[in-house]
Structure 1
Amino acid sequence: MPSENENPEIIKRMIGPYINGFSLRIFIFLLDYVPGLASFLFWDRISALRKLNLDECPTNFPLPLPKEYFGIEETKKVEGLEIFEENESAQQNYSSGFLCSSDFRKAYLTKKATPLQICEILIGKLEGSLKCNPSLNAIIKYEREDIIKQATASTTRYANNCSLGPLDGVPIAIKDELDVEGYETNVGTSFINRGFIAKTDATVIERLREKGAIIIGKTSMHEIGIGITGNNPSVCTSRNPYNIDHYTGGSSSGSASAVASGLCPIAIGCDGGGSIRIPSAFCGIYGLKTTFGRFSSKGELPLAPTVAVSGPMTASANDLALAYYVMAGKDEEDPNTYYQPKPTLSGLYNTKDLSDLKIGIYTAWNKQVYNPTITLALNNFIEKLKLLGANFVEIDIPELEEASIAHLLTIGSEISTFAKKYKENFHKYNCESRLNMSLFHFATASDYIISQQLRTRLMRSLSNLFNKQVNLILTPSTAITAPKIYPNSLKYGEADLKTVSEVMMYVTFANFSGIPAVSVPAGYDDNNLPIGLQFVAKWFDEATLLRIAKVSEEILGDKRKRPSNDYWFGDLIQD
């Protein structure tokens, strides 16, 4: 690792003791009697925030308004789902054995298999994934009869030559943060909404169903989304298919595990502080955090309403684009979606000439990785992108350290406020969740306002950057690969601020500013654990992110490999 002088910390690592097992339980017991005990773990960072002298008005929701100021334009050419049929010859399978929606689609159209046959086999694999030792704990709630009902309807549509399009009959799993008709929405807890069955789907899930997608169940998550590993003693801890002794990342942990293990080609997650991109990076899949306001939040529990958005997690770049386009767009029941330009897939298959792209690199920041193989993967991608004509620009993003503090304070305050609604059951939150929430109990209203003022400043800086210098920013997705699971942490959880800061190093500025970002697979470290890289674009420019994800898929090519622990059934539908 470079010396401190060679590698100045743009974002400082948080420092604190590693605590797990029964020791963590004792620490939580002390917290109940000494309320301010945890504040020293975060005090130096919030003190730095309080020293700022800001004149900006606070921005509470990171909507890019006015359009003229933030450089957002209506897309003149709108390309929708027809792009997949028009470019079928361009959809070369770079997924190295991962199943994609197009594999299911082709099998159904050629009568090689039916959705009903596939889902009957899939149910057996879901059962097997929960019975193995240790359990994969990816899709933890499913209803056999409901899956069969959906699959039967899809099979009938194909038999009558009236399918609903490229998602018809494709199995999709949903993070337990979104309402799905017929399921509880427990957000990774043992008690929230227990016994309350959702009667309707969240808007984004409803849109997937309208295109024939088969919703196969709910995925596990870090309790109330206040963690980045997926460790959840309250319900279950999902396992990384590349190495079951390592975490999947969180909080959309089960969604990443489900896709990487082959249980489904698409899963839906939510991202308030990297919660889609972190597990996507750790599990070697694609994950898109959309622009704030691009997807409707109706039916999504408001854990962190000013930073969190839902998004797709997929085995392929094509499916990332497909799921995005189906889920995106205005919703009359969510005012935050009113301001967006029309979603588009324009340029998705323009992957051979990148001379129109300027990609920003913040070298000093990118050097803050703690696994050198991540740097090797980053440099390899930079060289390959240059060969395709991409132009690279050295950039600076001011006050990233302060912005990371402000984001943590914002998301921590919002999740803690949500959690207090269930104060009569507060003791049921696991030890790690209670510790993480306690870090923000001493924050003041003034601290929150200062954070939102800093959000305004960050958005202006990024707006100027995208309008005048670059189309994209490239960083690692995380500063480390998937952390190891220590057995002592499974019962009570763990507290590890150092790992938290290393995992969240590059992701939070996109949540705080509302801009979109994508994590793409970029190779593997010396322990065969996946490496992810992150591209970030301006507000509502998901089309460019999807295009660069497709380029990245072609760069990795046949070097991508399936995990050692998978439930692949491609021999049933692939030629």
Structure 2
Amino acid sequence: MRFSDVTLVLTLLLLVTGSYGYDLSDPTLVEIDRRTGQKPYITREYSPDWLRSSQSLSGQWLSLARNCVIFFRSRDQQIEFMKSQLPASGMNPEDPVLFSEAELSALNAGIPDMPEPPPFEETSSEEAPSLDSDSRGSPAISISELFDRAGGIDDIQQLFAEQKLTPSRLVENIYDWYDKKLPDSLKDVLIERNKDLAMQMAKASDERWLKCISEYRGVIEACKKQRIIRQLEGIPIAVKSEINVASYHPTAGIDRKKMPYHSPFYTVNKETESEVVRLLKSEGVIILGITNQHIFGLGATGENPHFPRIANRFSPFHIPGGSSSGSALMVALGLSPLTVGTDGGGSISIPASLNGLPGLKPTTDKISTKNYENAAPGLTAIGLIGSRFKDIALGYQVSSGRLPTIQVAETLKTLKIGLDPEWLEHADKEVSEKTFECLDRLGTQLKKLQTRKNSLFVRMQFMPENFRKRLWATHMVLFGHREAEGKFKFMGIVDMPSETEMALLMGKAVSYEQLQRAKHNQEVLADHFEKNIFSKVDVVVMPTTLTPATAKLNYWLQNTAGELNLSNAYLLAFNTSLANLTGGPRVTIPCGFNHEGLPFGLQVMGAKDSEYILLALGSLLEQEMGRELMEKADSNTFVKRFRPHEKPSPDAGLRSEL
């Protein structure tokens, strides 16, 4: 049965049974659904024609190619050799490679423009943002009003206020559970810990909670208003290893034990700590450690030969997704309700989606990159992964200093969602089907708020025909070149996988002309989405990844973490890379599971500075599907989540990894 037939059957069932409040028979959505169903389904081994030769860049060929490279005595000779490999990667596309402003502006000409959108944020003038209305002038709307679903942060702080738990006991429980209950396949989620420092922060938080209980009987909002406790008081978080955290080493996934003495990684002090960490600390967080990641962020699988004990939460045999793999797993395992990651092409959304979590890649530079060595400026943003959208919203407010306005709630009443069937064309069957179910159920919630009768979904064309290769080349050239510019200094100094070396050499092999074309494309694309897409709809949607988590690589044989497995990278990162090129925000929303019990997400993109709209939409779908997905997650996973108030007993075993 083709997907179009399945869709019609599903539509009839929904109309008869009234399963969902939103009517899937909306002509626009059915039309999009039917057109997508006419496309042939792909498998996890799918790759477009122009990427099929990229398989020679990895696997068994890799060691031979690397040997050829190292025979050249100079770096210039090595780079020159790698130029011959660029066509297989898509980094050396044929002409024409540029997106034309004329062809982009001609798209969607028949769709009327919307009125100029109101501001969805206002900026706090305080150095350390607060939710307290009296201290700053009244914000239009509070996080609690906009996100009415209690989250992990709320639950943990309520335990503190009721004296059922203290921050120091929570930290003890986390480390104890990590050491005793975490399976071997996940032991490298954290690659550096400092328990003494975490306990020092936790005990200081204990004192603040005791004062809150003594003076205000543990009434959380009253204590926050008086700044006795902070917005994230006592909340344990973890930070991606390429971000500077005081008393830690920002190694970007490299094992310091494999570095020579003169390696360029040093312990961070307070003066060089990243601004995002400083802001979160000022609001009371406790740093548990720094998290595993794909080395240098150069890959979408999240695997790391230096710290190989990492896997998907739902299967020890599947990838966690990357590059912010450890940050996603800390949340997925229940060890942190909020973590910090970075995203240059999907590095937050991919691991969040593949582990059934919400994640936010904000507008470029919205969260400060001060004291963060951004190897790909203009593409990479610091973002957040959380247990609930409310938790992410709170973390975003603290780390960005931006406050939501009442216009967020008002815009939900007239929201328009853009869909383009081409962005589901290469999705596998279950991802494609579940995407439409999630859109239907998001519509269930939105229709309760809508004040107009116009269609909620708008069929659009985001990009011109034959856009995939041009878009892929644009991102590959920019990201590859900029990462090489930032990380090439480590070549020959630190031990790194063969594919990482080759990826850096390929980035250096990009020509000046290619780089200029890619820069021009990025400028045109960013302008196109602001003028021709988000002038007509509020948000656009598509699958986050085109496939659920793929099987782990045998890196013991290949010394690889998949940096140059470009066909696999295409399925994981093609959709997510778009927001990095446009500079706008993106969220991934948990959407469901496939027949193997592996999760995947729905991606929603918006115009610049529309973070709160995206987070609110995520919260709406979370309300619609949250309990159902949580129950499935608990039954599908091979390891039980950590519960904050539970101290693990020695005989409390894990589910078998087999």
Q: Normalization by structure 1: what TM-score?
A: 0.86
Structure 2 residue 246 is matched with structure 1 residue 181: yes
User: Which residue does the alignment assign to 2:39?
Assistant: 6
- 1:412–1:76 CA distance, 2 compared to 1 (3 A): closer
Distance in 1 separating the partners of 2:581 and 2:143: 36
Q: Are the equivalent residues in 1 in contact too, given 2:120–2:405 (CA < 8 A)? A: no
Q: Within 5 Å, which residues of 2 pair with 1:158-197?
A: 158-161=209-212, 163-190=228-255, 191=259, 193-197=264-268
- 1:257–1:194 CA distance, 2 compared to 1 (3 A): same
Q: Are the equivalent residues in 2 in contact too, given 1:521–1:530 (CA < 8 A)? A: yes
Distance in 1 separating the partners of 2:337 and 2:407: 23
Q: Are the equivalent residues in 1 in contact too, given 2:184–2:309 (CA < 8 A)? A: no
1:382 deviates by 1.8
User: Which residue does the alignment assign to 1:211?
Assistant: 283
Distance in 1 separating the partners of 2:83 and 2:41: 26
Distance in 2 separating the partners of 1:92 and 1:4: 35
1:128 deviates by 3.6
Name the % identity: 22
Q: Match for 1:413 among 455, 478, 481? A: 481
1:111 deviates by 0.9
Q: Match for 2:87 among 26, 40, 43? A: 43
Q: Are the equivalent residues in 1 in contact too, given 2:539–2:605 (CA < 8 A)? A: yes
Q: Which amino acid aligns with 1:376?
A: E
Q: Are the equivalent residues in 2 in contact too, given 1:8–1:364 (CA < 8 A)? A: no
Q: Within 5 Å, which residues of 2 pair with 1:100-119?
A: 100-119=152-171
Structure 2 residue 437 is matched with structure 1 residue 380: yes
Structure 1's unaligned 5+ residue stretches are: 57-69, 94-98, 330-341
Distance in 2 separating the partners of 1:298 and 1:376: 42
SS of the residue 2:367 aligns to? coil
Q: Which amino acid aligns with 2:416?
A: K
- 1:103–1:345 CA distance, 2 compared to 1 (3 A): farther
- 1:6–1:87 CA distance, 2 compared to 1 (3 A): closer
Q: Which amino acid aligns with 2:457?
A: F
User: Which residue does the alignment assign to 1:265?
Assistant: 337
Q: Which amino acid aligns with 2:620?
A: V
- 1:18–1:126 CA distance, 2 compared to 1 (3 A): farther
User: Which residue does the alignment assign to 2:112?
Assistant: none
> Cα deviations across residues 412-454 of structure 1 (Å, max 9, x unaligned)?
001111122234416x221121222233333111111111111
Structure 2's unaligned 5+ residue stretches are: 4-35, 73-77, 102-114, 125-129, 133-140, 213-222, 451-455, 648-658
Q: Which amino acid aligns with 1:344?
A: P
Structure 2 residue 311 is matched with structure 1 residue 231: no
Q: Which amino acid aligns with 1:43?
A: P
Distance in 2 separating the partners of 1:151 and 1:30: 53
User: Which residue does the alignment assign to 2:397?
Assistant: 325
Q: Which amino acid aligns with 2:638?
A: S
Q: Which amino acid aligns with 2:419?
A: I
> Cα deviations across residues 491-522 of structure 1 (Å, max 9, x unaligned)?
61144211011111201111011010001111
> Cα deviations across residues 247-277 of structure 1 (Å, max 9, x unaligned)?
1111101001111011111110000010000
1:240 deviates by 1.2
Q: Which amino acid aligns with 1:26?
A: L
SS of the residue 1:425 aligns to? coil
> Cα deviations across residues 526-568 of structure 1 (Å, max 9, x unaligned)?
1111111100000011010111110121121222123332441
- 1:84–1:506 CA distance, 2 compared to 1 (3 A): same
- 1:47–1:301 CA distance, 2 compared to 1 (3 A): closer
- 1:499–1:423 CA distance, 2 compared to 1 (3 A): closer
Q: Are the equivalent residues in 2 in contact too, given 1:238–1:248 (CA < 8 A)? A: yes
Distance in 2 separating the partners of 1:572 and 1:118: 9
Q: Are the equivalent residues in 1 in contact too, given 2:311–2:319 (CA < 8 A)? A: yes
Q: Within 5 Å, which residues of 2 pair with 1:50-69?
A: 50-52=95-97
> Cα deviations across residues 230-250 of structure 1 (Å, max 9, x unaligned)?
121134352211111111111
Q: Which amino acid aligns with 1:81?
A: L
1:164 deviates by 2.5
- 1:177–1:74 CA distance, 2 compared to 1 (3 A): same
Distance in 1 separating the partners of 2:121 and 2:548: 40
> Cα deviations across residues 95-132 of structure 1 (Å, max 9, x unaligned)?
xxxx71111110011111111111111121233467x4
Between stretches 526-535 and 3-12, larger displacement belongs to 3-12
User: Which residue does the alignment assign to 2:593?
Assistant: 524
User: Which residue does the alignment assign to 1:404?
Assistant: 472
SS of the residue 1:531 aligns to? strand
User: Which residue does the alignment assign to 2:638?
Assistant: 564
User: Which residue does the alignment assign to 1:336?
Assistant: none
Q: Which amino acid aligns with 1:422?
A: F
1:81 deviates by 2.8
- 1:556–1:255 CA distance, 2 compared to 1 (3 A): same
Q: Are the equivalent residues in 2 in contact too, given 1:179–1:202 (CA < 8 A)? A: yes
Q: Are the equivalent residues in 2 in contact too, given 1:284–1:521 (CA < 8 A)? A: yes
1:85 deviates by 7.6
Distance in 1 separating the partners of 2:591 and 2:286: 30
Distance in 2 separating the partners of 1:18 and 1:559: 43
1:86 deviates by 5.0
Q: Which amino acid aligns with 1:368?
A: H
Q: Within 5 Å, which residues of 2 pair with 1:121-200?
A: 121-128=173-180, 132-161=183-212, 163-190=228-255, 191=259, 193-200=264-271
Greater fraction helix: 2
Distance in 2 separating the partners of 1:453 and 1:11: 24
Between stretches 291-300 and 147-156, larger displacement belongs to 291-300
Q: Are the equivalent residues in 2 in contact too, given 1:278–1:477 (CA < 8 A)? A: yes
Distance in 2 separating the partners of 1:317 and 1:425: 41
SS of the residue 1:441 aligns to? helix
Q: Are the equivalent residues in 2 in contact too, given 1:373–1:525 (CA < 8 A)? A: yes
Distance in 2 separating the partners of 1:423 and 1:512: 27
Q: Match for 1:509 among 565, 578, 592? A: 578
Distance in 2 separating the partners of 1:361 and 1:505: 16
User: Which residue does the alignment assign to 2:511?
Assistant: 444
Distance in 2 separating the partners of 1:462 and 1:269: 25
Q: Match for 1:81 among 115, 128, 131? A: 131
1:395 deviates by 1.2
1:75 deviates by 4.5
1:570 deviates by 4.2
Distance in 2 separating the partners of 1:558 and 1:188: 34
> Cα deviations across residues 290-309 of structure 1 (Å, max 9, x unaligned)?
00121110121222112001
Q: Which amino acid aligns with 2:404?
A: T
Q: Are the equivalent residues in 2 in contact too, given 1:176–1:187 (CA < 8 A)? A: yes
Distance in 1 separating the partners of 2:157 and 2:436: 36
- 1:532–1:39 CA distance, 2 compared to 1 (3 A): farther
Between stretches 271-280 and 230-239, larger displacement belongs to 230-239
- 1:85–1:358 CA distance, 2 compared to 1 (3 A): closer
Distance in 1 separating the partners of 2:580 and 2:199: 37
> Cα deviations across residues 353-406 of structure 1 (Å, max 9, x unaligned)?
94411001011222220x211112111012223333371111112254213311
Q: Are the equivalent residues in 2 in contact too, given 1:21–1:492 (CA < 8 A)? A: no
Distance in 2 separating the partners of 1:416 and 1:76: 35
Q: Within 5 Å, which residues of 2 pair with 1:422-571?
A: 422-425=490-493, 428-489=495-556, 492-493=559-560, 494=562, 495-560=564-629, 561-562=633-634, 563-571=637-645
- 1:210–1:424 CA distance, 2 compared to 1 (3 A): same
Larger radius of gyration between Structure 1 and Structure 2: 2
User: Which residue does the alignment assign to 1:361?
Assistant: 419
- 1:265–1:86 CA distance, 2 compared to 1 (3 A): closer
Structure 2 residue 336 is matched with structure 1 residue 276: no
Distance in 1 separating the partners of 2:349 and 2:178: 24
Q: Which amino acid aligns with 2:319?
A: Y
Distance in 2 separating the partners of 1:72 and 1:198: 42
